[in-house]
Structure 1
């Protein structure tokens, strides 16, 4: 044996890789015994054996060296062993000056553990998707909180149209609860066990909109994933696609979306294959789409497609009956979330009832979360409110201070009571437009209000 052969044999035997070298007939010349542990129960000595013989015995299924000798080119394959392992084998031919194969070098890598981990990962992905669908379903089944007739009608409409596939267009200011109502619609539908895909059209850059919505094939652009990526429309297959702020959708995408709605099929970016899709479309906007159509900013044909079931949602300031219900709900929710027991002082509660809520339900929820987190006392008072809500009016604490001063300065109970009564009437006049409203504000009868106004007529302004 020459020095070169000794060196080669030593390299093969001591290598951490599983290496086998055969001659042009497939007879094993060099191998490390550890190589065969991936095929058999222990190290084997196979020098001098034919790979064709080992293939017939089922030890190599198939033999990669046999394939190289047959096909005359480098090959990579996956092998399955008697032990149930998955082996990734790679083999390369070595040629002489005449272009004839004189040797074949093969490498074997045990992929069993990797394949097992991949299978576990895929199973976890499936489970996660199932849990996400369950969570979406549970979120959608939360009760719609309302007392107002307007919201009662909206709740009835949602229940009535949910079992159908009719397209719903939710109209209303930001924060009125369009997303929550879309989830509710999905939870009542026949698609509730399938995905609910929510897309806020304002958060996706125009340059990425097409690839995000329709997906892309591998190699479509720099930075694209190796195996491509399904778009949001494809992810919503058999479920519900909710496009929030649909008025922000670029005109180019509007045309493509319209085509999908009409034909129920699309092509990924960079692809040629048509893909069929089935989803229920729900959209929402805080813009006037009719005005946008007139200005050429929104397609008329798409508007007609979306406006099948219009659902106008009134702002919170126009349904005051719901405010107290929502306040109590979110205080309870935040106390549970942060393990606290905070309560609102009656004067603060009244202040919140009379606030206009330009940010609607979202503003109310965020404010109450902030108050629960930032207030140290168990009772949250008016001074904790931001100035935008507190305004320039006197707080309850100032009112209490006024009464305490009266009691300190006046020792006669009748005089103090008269002054407090007059002060309460003055306060009521600032908030009310009639004696009936004053009666409700003070918690007394309307005849009592008239008597007291007459009693303090000289001191009070004309009502």
Structure 2
């Protein structure tokens, strides 16, 4: 039920919800200008148009004291305090801020309630803080959607994309370890950053460490740091590690399956006790970080091979999430093509469009490199295509298009629509069955029943021969 509600959630619905509340809600810019207020705030103060006014000036005019927005800006933290209006009404007012990408204050959100309505002030403070956390998370989500940054995975409408989008919102503020599974290029880094941005740690660092890209001999010093004189050739002043650099933020351990076995006990200590030791130091350091790990290998297989600790795997696997490859969520391919076409057209000052033949070809392509391969191809096409129309002929010479698929697409205008659609369906059936070697798995992958697949095989005169579909 929660997933369905969140899928339908948008900015207009958020504003309607906030307007339905009986408590005044304000959204204020970092310069003190009022960006938005709900209807309750307008009704309570009754001093004309609030939007566009400056709360610092309103405080000086005695309309209320103190200004909660001013206190939040000065102290850069959640504030809850009593406020008195010009009519001597006492309010319990709380405020918190939404950071920008640099961690600076971008917006302040405030909530007010008359003290006479607060039966138990301490419990009310907890409720108010919870409400503000919800507002903050939803506003962070709206800002992410508006900026369209690191949203590559989420532009599609596939069930997988929508499920993970909802899931990332749900677990963002659950401060525990997350393990992302998926092939290279599916968007694990983008998802990790999205979770960080939606979390309460979003105004703190996001540190990305690719465990497979750093030599094994350097990972320990990079991650944990070292004290002065810890080893020959070390920096004379010592070095803080990435864990210290990510203090109060998030550290993303990409390709965790490549993490050296002899260092896994130190990583386990961080996950269990939130403590670690720098190289050459006996003092225990505190690690206030959230860890998100990712892998493109089967970690349980690595455990069986003796290359990965079983206890570490179970500590990482608290909140696992598998990101399916692009070929298993084809509904997302066309939106992604359009996204990157627009992105690179804007970057290089061009204006292109994709032909239907090309879009059909790319839709049926296997995308072994997933989103990363798609992004690289679109950038190449935008740069190298001569005219505004990008067609099949513009594809690189080494792009693996099946000859039969090319012929089908080139002759699309020579046949009727039903015949063309049958040809497409037959091509998809053959390709999918030859990948799965099972009518049941083919049906599951294509989202239809097994009996439907059997009927289509008969219609297209296809039979199974040595685990492949062939035409009779």
Query: Quick one: distance in 2 between partners of 1:189 and 1:398?
Result: 46
Output aligned runs, 1:1-400, within 5 Å: 142-143=150-151, 144-386=154-396, 387-393=398-404, 395=406, 399=410
Query: Quick one: distance in 2 between partners of 1:397 and 1:337?
Result: 34
Q: Deviations over 1:125-151 (max 9, x none)?
A: xxxxx9755799968964421201122
Structure 1 pair 148/339, CA: closer, same or farther in 2 (3 Å)? same
Structure 1 pair 399/186, CA: closer, same or farther in 2 (3 Å)? closer
Aligned-residue offset at 1:429: 4.6
TM-score relative to the length of structure 1: 0.58
Over the aligned positions, Cα root-mean-square deviation in angstroms equals 3.1
Structure 1 pair 164/369, CA: closer, same or farther in 2 (3 Å)? same
Query: Quick one: distance in 1 between partners of 2:367 and 2:359?
Result: 14
Structure 2: 5+ residue stretches without partners: 1-99, 107-139, 428-458, 460-470
Q: Deviations over 1:230-266 (max 9, x none)?
A: 1111111100011010000011111110012222222
Structure 1 pair 385/158, CA: closer, same or farther in 2 (3 Å)? same
Q: Deviations over 1:105-130 (max 9, x none)?
A: xxxxxxxxxxxxxxxxxxxxxxxxx9
Helix, strand or coil at the partner of 1:199: strand
Query: Quick one: distance in 2 between partners of 1:397 and 1:243?
Result: 44
TM-score relative to the length of structure 2: 0.57
Aligned-residue offset at 1:300: 0.7
Structure 1 pair 180/394, CA: closer, same or farther in 2 (3 Å)? closer
Structure 1: 5+ residue stretches without partners: 1-129, 404-419, 435-452, 454-461
Structure 1 pair 398/270, CA: closer, same or farther in 2 (3 Å)? closer
Query: Quick one: distance in 2 between partners of 1:352 and 1:269?
Result: 50
Query: Quick one: distance in 2 between partners of 1:227 and 1:324?
Result: 52
Q: Deviations over 1:82-106 (max 9, x none)?
A: xxxxxxxxxxxxxxxxxxxxxxxxx
Query: Quick one: distance in 2 between partners of 1:391 and 1:171?
Result: 30
Helix, strand or coil at the partner of 2:404: coil
* Structure (1 or 2) with the larger CA radius of gyration: 1
Q: Deviations over 1:328-360 (max 9, x none)?
A: 111011111111112212111111111111111
Aligned-residue offset at 1:372: 0.6
Query: Quick one: distance in 1 between partners of 2:165 and 2:421?
Result: 36
Contact 2:253 2:294 in 1 (8 A): yes
Aligned-residue offset at 1:217: 1.3
Q: Deviations over 1:48-105 (max 9, x none)?
A: xxxxxxxxxxxxxxxxxxxxxxxxxxxxxxxxxxxxxxxxxxxxxxxxxxxxxxxxxx
Contact 1:199 1:243 in 2 (8 A): yes
Helix, strand or coil at the partner of 1:273: coil
Query: Quick one: distance in 1 between partners of 2:392 and 2:424?
Result: 18
Helix, strand or coil at the partner of 1:191: coil
Query: Quick one: distance in 1 between partners of 2:349 and 2:388?
Result: 12
Contact 2:102 2:203 in 1 (8 A): no
Query: Quick one: distance in 1 between partners of 2:172 and 2:148?
Result: 12
Query: Quick one: distance in 2 between partners of 1:131 and 1:252?
Result: 36
Aligned-residue offset at 1:431: 2.6
Structure 1 pair 332/163, CA: closer, same or farther in 2 (3 Å)? same
